[in-house]
Structure 1
Amino acid sequence: MSDSSGHLHMPIHMIDLIRKKRDRGVLSEAEIGFLVCGAAGESIPLEQLSAWLMAAWLNGLELDEIRALTVAMRDSGAKFDPSRLGKVAVDKHSTGGVGDKTSFLVAPIAAACGVAVPMISGRALGHTGGTLDKLEAIPAYRTALTLEEFEAVLQKCGASIVSQTPALVPADRVLYALRDRTGTVESPGLICASILSKKLAAGLNALVLDVKTGSGAFLRKREDTEYLAALMVATAEAAGTRTVALMTDMGQPLGAMAGNWIELAECVGLMRGNRPVESEDLRELSLILAGWMIHLGGQAETPEAGYARAEGAIVDGSALRIFLEMIAAQGGDVLAFDDAHFHKPGATRVVEALETGFISSMDTTMLGWAVQRLGAGREKAGEPVDPHAGIHFHARRGAFVEKGQPLATLYATREAMLAEPESLLKRAIVFSATKPETVPLVSRIFTQDDAEIYLRNAVR
């Protein structure tokens, strides 16, 4: 096959792309496009895609490869056009954590402040929970909407949280599931392309990224997390979307709850004006993220002014009203939030402190696996999750606890599933005689200029 200039175009074979990346080669835009097209159309066998993912995980991806992969995945299916909404479309995305439930707060808060929030979310991945799994704990809530239904909910409520449809970013749907099953999640390039392809397919005008740091982050090294934050900002900005990344603490679970239904209930409680001490970090981070969304959406001159508007949306009840309207518009039963008997775990156990002292640190990844093994997550794609499984944390990092004091309550599918998570929890929480230093909730912010400077100087 040749083009009009007479140049011969050799056919592309997947095995060659595997070998090339295995041997630290750099794939061309055409080769990336072939791979993405084959993933979306399911013409490339899963074992070959898995082999390429492992090669990419081991050897990394160059900046040009990441940008080509992101754009090709974005364009692998249908795209949403938010222009008919008559508002600036802004979204938030987190790189994943334990108890990380800010989406349920920032989406209705930003919508209440005049921003459109078309949010395309994912399921549980590795040790982290999935936004969609949590929402599906609400009876009859539909995450799989057509693009037309998605737009209708946005027109009515200003916010909608949905899954990838088969037509929307189909390449990522295939690769995302494979990464979870092949141990190739923790790759900056693959994370960047996966996140941004979904977000850019939603036609966003602006994006706020919550990049996790600490013991519960996918990327444990500080320099890897900084690189990912800068990489995503620069890649999204190059695609025409105003983007900012906040590096936030995941050295402990966010808020008091980690699971599915219990996380939703915690968020609704905050929107109803409750202020439990153990949920204060969740409330604060949600207001910071929403403040940036409101600012980038043109509804506040500064992120600080956006924060003030965001807090007002909680205080006046407009955020809660929009959240419940969104749930109802997507088929969910909002009455569950007023039913004190709705949360019915199959088995419950209170875990007590084994010693007296300050909680000095937590292995949040280990705690995430404890939540998953209680039944709140999945080991294989397509497995059901228990909406009522999870952990209620009664003590936070820095707290002084007495021996025998309740540390956490475990909720499981059945009694036999409690022992391993209890063991994980006890190993994950470390005590000391002195109070640990306070860790900032937000440690760094990357704007476009910051990201470009960082990437120019980064040594990879």
Structure 2
Amino acid sequence: MQSNSHTQDASPVSGETAAPMHAIDVIRKKRDRGSLSEAEIRFMVRGAASESIPMEQLSAWLMACWLNGLALEEIRALTVAMRDSGVKFDSSRLEKVTVDKHSTGGVGDKTSFLVAPIAAACGLAVPMISGRALGHTGGTLDKLEAIPGYRTALTLEEFEAVIVECGAAIVSQTPALVPADRVLYALRDRTGTVESPGLICASILSKKLAAGLNALVLDVKTGSGAFLRKREDADYLAALMVATAEAAGTRTVAVMTDMSQPLGHAAGNWIELVESVDLLSGKRPSQSEDLRELSLILAGWMVYLGGKASSAEEGYGKAETTLRDGSALKHFYAMVAAQGGDVSAFDDPAGFHKPGATFVLKAKQTGWIAAMDTTALGWAVQRLGAGREKAGEPVDAHAGIDFHKRRGDFVTAGEPLATLYATNESLLAEPIALIEGALTFSGVAPEAVMLVSRVFTRDEAVAFLGAV
């Protein structure tokens, strides 16, 4: 672990005056569409980390940033300031190439549970710092905590020990690691300021860069379930994150992936883990094929950027081998056990699954499922009890939705569309209405949508940003 001198250093950056700063002045400046200096951004980030700036002022600042946008220089300054708001993980002692994957968030998005052990099985180290449910998307940490005993809050020393033993660890940011993001992440969820490319970029990369990564693969979602629904916004975010991370010395690519329907068949907490373990065990259920394919594509890039393959395609092949020979599953179980989780829960996953209420939703009409409002489906999952309305609220490990039909399927009236698992029966009505409103039926089959539509490398990202 290396200490961060910026955390306690209140001196201005070079070229700035030593005049005292006030949060209200920074808020007004951004509200009036001014460009913030590095010193002003660092001041606000320090205030968030130390909680010396009131939450209402941080909320107003976030809203001003959301409404008026952030320039490239502001985004880079915000990313670095947040990265440097606490201690940083020294990955050099691992004596392995460190790689990670991060998704911008989706419904049923559980690739972390596959790519982390796959990459570890290929000889890489995966220090994965993840988040909780945000908006309509589920949280990796909430899902892992459905495993009895699994600890996400590790010290950096424990974090390192798990990686040394298992090759991968998936944890939350500690109070010492990127403390500014811990505060701002929760505030964005409660103030309607999630969907900002600049704020998303800084939040994601500050955690990843603080983990001392050598390489990073970004999974940037597009379509009806993405935070940024406009394709040009998603492309901008992808290019922005690649260029920002590369400038900080981390080899990075962004893979643009489809979120016009849930990924795989399960969306929730425990049920997503079960689907992931099925794939890690070598099973290939048809409703999980998109999840398997995307996980192998992302892992292939991780293996390639980590120097264990000569191309992403070769990396894909090596990743698939770990599913077939069981080595990825072995690394997953080892990680779970090392972080206190009871792996015996997977011996009888159906028996462990005990939702408070279950409801099978059936189709009211016959036709092709032409489109899905995946954001609405995500809210349905959250409101069954899988998500939270306020930061710190508990989530139900057993809440979620098992989707029986997908976009492009032909459905006959009366056929099961999905099975809903809720904390109690009183929570079923709203999710049922959300699901029914989210599906568009047609008399003709819809055109197929590509799972991966584009990949941004460093050169492509720089060229894209230069043309914006």
TM-score range, shorter chain: over 0.9
User: C-alpha offsets along residues 215-267 of structure 1, whole Å, 9 cap, x if unaligned?
Assistant: 00000100000000000000000000000000000000000000000000000
Identical aligned residues as a percent: 78
Counterparts of 1:11 and 1:251 in 2: how far apart (Å)?
48
Partner residue, 1:334 = 343
Partner residue, 1:344 = 354
* Matching of residues 234-313 of structure 1 within 5 Å: 234-313=243-322
Structure-2 change in CA distance of 1:313 and 1:2 (3 Å): closer
Query: Runs of 5+ in structure 2 lacking a partner?
Result: 1-9
Residues 1:167 and 2:176 aligned together: yes
User: C-alpha offsets along residues 144-166 of structure 1, whole Å, 9 cap, x if unaligned?
Assistant: 00000000000000000000000
Counterparts of 1:7 and 1:96 in 2: how far apart (Å)?
37
- Report the AA paired with residue 320 of structure 1: L
Q: Which of these residues, 36, 39, 59, is aligned with residue 68 of structure 2?
A: 59
User: C-alpha offsets along residues 197-227 of structure 1, whole Å, 9 cap, x if unaligned?
Assistant: 0000000000000000000000010000000
Partner residue, 1:113 = 122
Structure-2 change in CA distance of 1:430 and 1:36 (3 Å): same
Q: In the alignment, is the contact (CA less than 8 A) between 2:16 and 2:39 conserved in 1?
A: no
Task: Indicate the SS of the match to 1:134.
Answer: helix
Counterparts of 2:94 and 2:467 in 1: how far apart (Å)?
40
Query: Runs of 5+ in structure 1 lacking a partner?
Result: none
Q: Which of these residues, 73, 78, 84, is aligned with residue 69 of structure 1?
A: 78
Q: Which of these residues, 171, 176, 183, is aligned with residue 192 of structure 2?
A: 183
Counterparts of 1:398 and 1:423 in 2: how far apart (Å)?
21
Partner residue, 2:131 = 122
Q: Which of these residues, 442, 449, 452, is aligned with residue 462 of structure 2?
A: 452
How far off its partner does 1:11 sit?
1.1
Counterparts of 2:268 and 2:17 in 1: how far apart (Å)?
55
Q: In the alignment, is the contact (CA less than 8 A) between 2:69 and 2:196 conserved in 1?
A: yes
Partner residue, 1:366 = 376
- Report the AA paired with residue 456 of structure 1: G
Structure-2 change in CA distance of 1:120 and 1:26 (3 Å): same
Q: Which of these residues, 411, 416, 423, is aligned with residue 413 of structure 1?
A: 423
Residues 1:33 and 2:49 aligned together: no
Partner residue, 1:385 = 395
Partner residue, 2:452 = 442
- State the superposition RMSD in angstroms: 1.3
Counterparts of 2:31 and 2:129 in 1: how far apart (Å)?
32
Counterparts of 2:351 and 2:118 in 1: how far apart (Å)?
28
Q: Which of these residues, 401, 406, 416, is aligned with residue 411 of structure 2?
A: 401
- Report the AA paired with residue 455 of structure 1: L
Could you tell me the TM-score, scaled by structure 1's length?
0.98
Structure-2 change in CA distance of 1:304 and 1:7 (3 Å): closer
How far off its partner does 1:8 sit?
5.0
Matched residues, number: 457
Partner residue, 1:216 = 225
* Matching of residues 77-92 of structure 1 within 5 Å: 77-92=86-101
Counterparts of 2:382 and 2:361 in 1: how far apart (Å)?
17
Partner residue, 1:423 = 433
Counterparts of 2:329 and 2:450 in 1: how far apart (Å)?
28
Task: Indicate the SS of the match to 1:283.
Answer: helix
Q: In the alignment, is the contact (CA less than 8 A) between 1:138 and 1:336 conserved in 2?
A: yes
Task: Indicate the SS of the match to 1:382.
Answer: coil
Task: Indicate the SS of the match to 2:351.
Answer: coil
Task: Indicate the SS of the match to 1:40.
Answer: helix
Counterparts of 2:440 and 2:11 in 1: how far apart (Å)?
65
Partner residue, 1:22 = 31
Partner residue, 2:242 = 233
Task: Indicate the SS of the match to 1:295.
Answer: helix
Counterparts of 1:140 and 1:181 in 2: how far apart (Å)?
28
- Which 4+ runs in 1 deviate beyond 6 A? none
Counterparts of 1:360 and 1:347 in 2: how far apart (Å)?
29
- Report the AA paired with residue 450 of structure 1: E
How far off its partner does 1:196 sit?
0.1
Counterparts of 2:187 and 2:406 in 1: how far apart (Å)?
34
Counterparts of 1:332 and 1:287 in 2: how far apart (Å)?
25
Counterparts of 2:165 and 2:281 in 1: how far apart (Å)?
22
Task: Indicate the SS of the match to 1:175.
Answer: helix
Partner residue, 2:7 = none
User: C-alpha offsets along residues 63-118 of structure 1, whole Å, 9 cap, x if unaligned?
Assistant: 00000000000000010011111110000000000000000000000000011000
Counterparts of 1:120 and 1:7 in 2: how far apart (Å)?
33
Counterparts of 2:318 and 2:119 in 1: how far apart (Å)?
9
How far off its partner does 1:273 sit?
1.5
Counterparts of 1:133 and 1:455 in 2: how far apart (Å)?
35
Counterparts of 2:154 and 2:193 in 1: how far apart (Å)?
29
Counterparts of 1:21 and 1:179 in 2: how far apart (Å)?
17
Task: Indicate the SS of the match to 1:52.
Answer: helix
Partner residue, 1:12 = 21
Q: Which of these residues, 154, 179, 204, is aligned with residue 195 of structure 1?
A: 204
Q: In the alignment, is the contact (CA less than 8 A) between 1:2 and 1:8 conserved in 2?
A: no
Q: Which of these residues, 325, 329, 338, is aligned with residue 334 of structure 2?
A: 325
Task: Indicate the SS of the match to 1:161.
Answer: strand
Partner residue, 2:3 = none
Task: Indicate the SS of the match to 1:21.
Answer: helix
Partner residue, 1:48 = 57
How far off its partner does 1:9 sit?
2.4
Could you tell me the TM-score, scaled by structure 2's length?
0.96
User: C-alpha offsets along residues 1-47 of structure 1, whole Å, 9 cap, x if unaligned?
Assistant: 999x9985221111010000000000000111101011001110000
